[in-house]
Structures are given as structure tokens and as C-alpha cells.
Amino acid sequence: MAPGVTRRNFLGTTGTLAAGLTSGAAMAAGSAQAAETAVGDRLKVLGIGCSHRKGRTTSTALGVCLEAARAVDPRIDVELIELAGLKIPGHVAAGVPLEPGERDDFPQVANKIADPALAALILATPVYFGNMSSPCKALIERCTIFHTDHSPLTNKVAGVLAVGGGRNGGVELTVRSVQVALMSLQMIVVGDARPTGHWGGTAWSGAEAVKNTKGPDITRDELGMATMKNLGRRVAEMTLRLAGCRAC
Ligand SMILES: Cc1cc2nc3c(=O)[nH]c(=O)nc-3n(C[C@H](O)[C@H](O)[C@H](O)COP(=O)(O)O)c2cc1C
């Protein structure tokens, strides 16, 4: 549990956003402001990679997606962070306190999410047993603190991408599962833009062209990369729309 937050007051204040956030982020948490962002402001697109493995297929796919978002407009800034190596205990969301000495890196991620410059969020997860990874699930559970009337996520754009090892291993189910959580957080969820035009970024790390390379090299999944780029583009376009650029 965040410093200064007892189990009792945590349960009573999960919506206050005070727990573990910097004062600037906590202040930002008081206003749902995406729709009011003025044209000309910097628009931050934050990508969170939720693989256990840093710099691997999910992270690479997220990088492709973010780069496509950035290329849409010079006002768009992108940042990629990875949960690999971080400790985000999900049990805190249910009011179960941290053990003495137990590490909790959620506040640093929460501060990024609550950044007033945040205009869009892209969550990227590998497919595990037909669903999101445990770091992704734990992050979403901890985002209970943003499940409030005046959350910094309200009316912000959201996109989801997933990378699976199987051709039919559940990548779309995984994308859908994460999207549902983001909808609960009052986000405006978008899919990948046409011509692929479906639910989000979907890549296949088990494809012959991908797995027969060192790494494997997920960028060799051409269709998958098209969905990543089109997701980035769609997220950026909707972000600009909400920022007031009606012609975008
Ligand atoms: C525990 C575990 C479960 C997995 N379950 C699935 C699955 O259900 N469907 C699938 O398509 N791939 C599955 N995979 C494969 C991963 O989704 C795939 O290798 C992915 O590219 C890993 O992402 P990373 O390189 O970012 O770690 C699983 C991998 C692991 C380790």
C-alpha cells in the first residue's frame, strides 16, 4: 500500500487518487480534460508494454504502433514504458496491504497515467492462455484508483494491441478483454484504422517468417505490423479530433 495509506482509508479513498501520486498528478486527476485540450498543446500518447520480457515481441510491436502515432502530427509526443522488472501487486486493489518490505512500483506508473499531458493510452500485452498477461491484469486492477467520476482517464483515447504465439491462440479475445476494462475506465476505445480496420493491433510471433529469425523478429509479421501502424494512426487521429482539430 502507498505510504501513509492504511488499509481502512485506502478502501475509503480508492477514488481520491491521492495514494502514491505526486501532487501535480493528483491535481491533474481532478479534471477530465482530454476533450478540452487546446489545439497547439502537446498531446502525449503513452504506451505501456505489459510483457514479462523487456524489449521482446510485445515491446517491439508497441514501438511500431507509437511511431505511427507520432508520425501523424508534430504535436504528438510518444513514450513507451515497460512493466517488465516492475513489481505491481494486484492485491492492493482489493485492499490487501503490502507485506512489510514488499515493493510496489505502481505509483510511478500511476503518475505517468495521471500526467496532465496524457491524451491517449495504448496498452500492449502478450497473449497468455488466451488472455492478457498477469502484469497487464495487475496494472488494470490497480487502475481501480482511476475508476472515479473525475478520473484523468475519462474521455482519453485508448488503443490495445496483443502479440500471440499461436495463429488462433486468442489474440483478438485478448485485445477485447483489455478494451472492456478500458471502457470501464471511461476511455474512448478505438481499433486499428482502415484498411486493416478491426479491433486493434494483432501480431503473431509464431509465424514462420517471424520465428525463423533471431529474436524472433516480430516486424516480419507484415499483416500484424500493418495493424500496429493503423492502430497508432487511429489513436493519433482520434486524439487530435478530441483536441479540437475537426478537420483531422
Ligand atoms: C505462459 C504463456 C502462455 C502463453 N499462452 C499463449 C496463448 O494462449 N496463445 C498464444 O497465441 N500465445 C501464447 N503464448 C505465447 C506468447 O503470447 C508469445 O510468445 C508472445 O510473443 C510473447 O510476447 P513477448 O515476446 O513480449 O514476451 C504464451 C506464452 C507463455 C509464456
184-205 per-position pLDDT tens digit: 999 999 999 999 999 999 999 9
Is residue 130 one of the residues assigned to a domain? Answer: yes
The residue assigned the cell 505510504 is 3
Q: What are phi and psi of 125, to 5 degrees?
A: -135, 145
Minimum CA distance residue for ligand 1 atom 8: 129
206 domain-assigned: yes
Whether the pLDDT of residue 245 is over 90: the answer is: no
Ligand 1 closest atom vs CA 59: 26
CA of 165 to the centre of ligand 1 (A): 5
Residue 248 lies in a domain: no
Share of the chain above pLDDT 90, in %: 77
Question: Over the chain, what is the mean pLDDT?
Answer: 87
Q: Residue 108's pLDDT is what? A: 97
Q: pLDDT band at 21, cuts 50/70/90?
A: low
Q: What is the band of 232 on the pLDDT scale with cuts at 50, 70, 90?
A: very high
pLDDT at 70: 98
The enclosing domain of 125 has a CATH number of 3.40.50.360
Whether residue 212 lies inside any domain: the answer is: yes
Write out the residue range of the structural domain in which residue 165 sits: 7-25+42-242
For the stretch 133-158, pLDDT in tens is 999 999 999 999 999 998 999 999 99
Residue 222: band (very low, low, confident or very high) from pLDDT cuts 50, 70, 90: very high
Q: What is the pLDDT of residue 27?
A: 37
What is the tens place of the pLDDT at every residue in 34-58? Answer: 444 444 579 999 999 999 999 999 9
Inside any domain, residue 30: no
Q: How many helices (H) and strands (E) does the chain have?
A: 8, 6
Q: Beta strands 43-49 and 118-126: pairing type?
A: parallel
Q: Which residue has the higher pLDDT, 63 or 16?
A: 63
Question: Of 187, 124, 132, which Cα lies nearest the Cα of 160?
Answer: 124
Residues with CB under 6 A from ligand 1: 51, 53, 56-58, 126-130, 163-166, 169-170, 205
Confidence of residue 118 (pLDDT cuts 50, 70, 90): very high
How many independent structural domains does the chain possess?
A: 1
Mutate to test the pocket of ligand 1, among 205, 210, 217, 218 (most ligand atoms within 8 A of CB): 205
User: In this structure, is residue 61 part of a structural domain?
Assistant: yes
- Across the range 55-67, mean pLDDT stands at 98
Residue 214: the pLDDT is 78
Determine contact, residues 68/142, Cβ cutoff 8 Å.
Answer: no
Cα separation values, 1 from 38, 91, 97, 115, 185, Å: 36, 9, 5, 21, 21
Say if residue 31's pLDDT is above 50.
no
Across residues 3-17, what is the average pLDDT?
A: 31
Percentage of residues in the chain having pLDDT higher than 70: 83
How far, in Å, from the CA of 203 to the mean position of ligand 1? 11
pLDDT in tens, 168-189: 999 999 999 999 999 999 999 9
Ligand 1 midpoint to CA 91 (Å): 24
Statement: residue 77 has pLDDT above 50: yes
Mutate to test the pocket of ligand 1, among 127, 129, 219 (most ligand atoms within 8 A of CB): 127
Q: Is 92 a member of any domain?
A: yes
